[in-house]
A and B are shown apart, each in its own frame.
Chain A
Amino acid sequence: MSDIQKLKDTATQIRRDILRMVTGAASGHPGGSLSSTDVVTALMFSVMNHDPKTWNRSGKGADMFFLSCGHESPLLYSALARRGYFDVKELGTFRKLGSRLQGHPATDTGLPGIHIASGSLGQGLSAAVGAALGKRLDKEPNLVYVLVGDGESQEGQIWEAAEFASHHKVDNLIAFTDWNGQQIDGTTEEVIGPDHLDQRWRAFGWNVVVVKDGNDMEQILSAVKLAKELLAADHKPVMVMLTTVMGKGVDFMEGTCKWHGKAPKPEECEKALAQLKETLGDY
């Protein structure tokens, strides 16, 4: 099996996990988790230099990942578990009392893989930029990756972080926008358009890579390769704009805001799972 196929199969299993987790919790955010699944899979299973056995919160000696859009926690938890950070069985505790898998990522539960809490939107990019500066001060060659939502980019703080990273020439950070065009109340254009996110990032002095199909594994990997070259060449941060489909992989969830923050009912979950092959074994 090719490496690409393995990554795709992993993404499919993570999508199953996401659906089962939010259904089990009868709450959570499946839509965005499904649209970002491919990039997070690519990072965790191919791009990033990291080792679950030696992971620690400091991120020293490894690449770091920050999930700024913390409501995509089921995606992050599944990817971490599947990558060996903790037992996949624990995924079944998502959002339940006493679980390390809080509704939004937390650091006080001791769950490995989480550097900082997120969920209140707009904050994770700043934290990632700080971590990147820390690596620069320590003369560490590793990179910092961060995922931001397009709806989340309505938060003013995203643009504070944008100008700060640009001004301080942060050249060890690659950010991704899950550009699915949907948020809780409707499309991003309906809620507070115009979007023009690619142009905005350019205007803030970042290099921007636009990916036509942000759910395509090959395109994601090529974009990361290009982003790394741009970091080395221009010494400024890079934003990879991933044109994605909300709810990707489940026909009745695709392209609508309906499933942003709503869990499927058990029978709906069954319908969804029928569309996604169990590749690595359900938890």
Chain B
Amino acid sequence: MKKYIDTGKKDTRSGFGEGLLELGKQMDNVVALTADLKGSVKMDAFAKEFPQRFFQCGIAEANMVNTAAGLSLSGKVPFIGTFAAFATGRVYDQVRMCVSYSETNVKIAASHAGITLGEDGATHQILEDIGLMRMLPGMVVINPCDFNQTKAATIAAGKYTGPVYLRFGRPSVPNFTPENQEFVIGKAILLNEGKDVSIFATGHLVWEALIAAEELEKEGISAEVINIATIKPLDVKVVMGSVNKTGCAVTAEEHFVAGGMGEMIAGVLAAEKPVPVEYVAINDRFGQSGTPSELMKAYGLDAEHIVAAAKKAIKRK
């Protein structure tokens, strides 16, 4: 199988920070807002470079969302940065009415998504944000897999017209996709061709899926690995093309099963071509405090669980 090299672990939020700074240099209508988390979501470089285009909102996320919507009317491209928990659940009504329904060009930069936020615990570890955001009409949902891809996705989100939910995280994760890649919204990325099982992964679970494919190869199982970097709109063509070949699927994400990328793919498959699907995700329980790697293992979000799910899916064919 194709070999991917981890060029050194980096946090995806820093990829966002670099992307935002780069975008700010390219487009003078890009503005940024935060709710007292400038440093945590890596907006400080942008704020330093473009102080007039940066707005500190204080701990008041609802106002931040609608202020961004108001700013977008005159052609500004606002990025609002906070933790994923406060960028979605806390402000769902604001995002629903003034971003999605009003079709404003607001980019929701959601950091610290999922359980790998770690020690802060379940209050901050949102695992339902993909579901919440993908239910909203017109909302693009992007979940890049590493630092380089998050940087590229940030730039692509800024150049795209329309609401975008851009999800990334706190911990350092392997950085293996090309530097200065072009990110195409709505395009799934085939990382490894295979014929026995399709593994659809999103976010940093993509790396785990690649390790899982290596393990499976050792046992004579050929796994196709596809990075679902854009969850909505889903690249149905690539998903169907892969499943038509392999006849079963595994989905892997740092999210609840309910509302997640896996359910979305399963929904498409149920309508188009019912095949066995196994979810690697968290099922109906909250997270807890711990280190990111401890939590990944404890909640079954690693290569080992992807391997097991793949074998199970193949057996059910």
Q: B-contacting residues of A (Cβ < 8 Å)?
A: 57-60, 64, 106-108, 115-120, 122-124, 126-135, 137-138, 156-157, 160-161, 163-164, 167-168
Determine the chain A residues whose CB is within 8 A of the CB of B97 once the complex forms.
117-120, 123
List the A residue with the shortest CB-CB distance to B137: A108
Q: Which 10 A-B pairs have the closest CB atoms?
A: A130-B70, A126-B66, A160-B63, A134-B74, A160-B60, A130-B67, A127-B70, A131-B70, A130-B71, A157-B62
A122 to B76: give the CA distance in the assembly, Å.
23
Contact status of A128 and B70, CB under 8 A, knowing A123-B98, A137-B31: yes
Contact status of A134 and B63, CB under 8 A, knowing A108-B103, A127-B98: no
With both chains docked as a complex, state the minimum distance between the C-beta of A165 and any C-beta of chain B, in angstroms. Answer: 9
Stretch at the interface among B49-57, B149-157, B272-280: B49-57
**Does B67 lie within 8 Å of A133, measured CB to CB?**
yes
List the B residue with the shortest CB-CB distance to A66: B70
**Does A134 lie within 8 Å of B70, measured CB to CB?**
yes
Residue of B52, B57, B62, B73 touching A156 (CB-CB under 8 A): B62
Contact status of A107 and B70, CB under 8 A, knowing A133-B55, A163-B58, A164-B60: no
With both chains docked as a complex, state the minimum distance between the C-beta of B178 and any C-beta of chain A, in angstroms. Answer: 35
A127 to B76: give the CA distance in the assembly, Å.
13
Q: A-contacting residues of B (Cβ < 8 Å)?
A: 31, 52-53, 55, 57-58, 60, 62-63, 65-76, 78, 93-94, 96-98, 101-104
A202 to B131: give the CA distance in the assembly, Å.
41
**Does A126 lie within 8 Å of B62, measured CB to CB?**
yes
Determine the chain B residues whose CB is within 8 A of the CB of A108 once the complex forms.
101-103
A130 to B93: give the CA distance in the assembly, Å.
17
Sample of 17 further A-B pairs with CB below 8 A, known A60-B75, A117-B101, A134-B75:
A58-B75, A107-B103, A117-B97, A117-B102, A120-B93, A126-B66, A126-B69, A127-B67, A130-B68, A130-B72, A131-B70, A134-B72, A157-B66, A161-B66, A164-B58, A164-B63, A167-B58
A115 to B98: give the CA distance in the assembly, Å.
10
Determine the chain A residues whose CB is within 8 A of the CB of B63 once the complex forms.
126, 129, 157, 160-161, 164
List the A residue with the shortest CB-CB distance to B62: A157
What are 21 A-B interface contacts by the 8 Å CB criterion? A106-B101, A107-B101, A108-B102, A116-B98, A116-B104, A117-B101, A120-B93, A123-B97, A126-B66, A126-B67, A126-B70, A129-B70, A130-B72, A131-B70, A133-B71, A135-B74, A137-B53, A157-B63, A160-B57, A160-B58, A160-B62
Determine the chain A residues whose CB is within 8 A of the CB of B65 once the complex forms.
126
A107 to B65: give the CA distance in the assembly, Å.
17
**Does A134 lie within 8 Å of B71, measured CB to CB?**
yes
Q: Which of B31, B66, B68 has the most CB of A within 10 A?
A: B66
**Does A161 lie within 8 Å of B58, measured CB to CB?**
no
**Does A137 lie within 8 Å of B76, measured CB to CB?**
yes
With both chains docked as a complex, state the minimum distance between the C-beta of A107 and any C-beta of chain B, in angstroms. Answer: 5
**Does A130 lie within 8 Å of B69, measured CB to CB?**
yes
A201 to B267: give the CA distance in the assembly, Å.
50
Residue of B53, B55, B66 touching A123 (CB-CB under 8 A): B66
Determine the chain B residues whose CB is within 8 A of the CB of A106 once the complex forms.
101
A226 to B277: give the CA distance in the assembly, Å.
67
Residue of B60, B76, B94, B103 touching A163 (CB-CB under 8 A): B60
Determine the chain B residues whose CB is within 8 A of the CB of A160 once the complex forms.
57-58, 60, 62-63
**Does A115 lie within 8 Å of B73, measured CB to CB?**
yes
**Does B104 lie within 8 Å of A131, measured CB to CB?**
no
**Does B103 lie within 8 Å of A58, measured CB to CB?**
no
Determine the chain B residues whose CB is within 8 A of the CB of A164 once the complex forms.
57-58, 60, 63, 67
Determine the chain A residues whose CB is within 8 A of the CB of B53 once the complex forms.
137
Determine the chain A residues whose CB is within 8 A of the CB of B57 once the complex forms.
160, 164
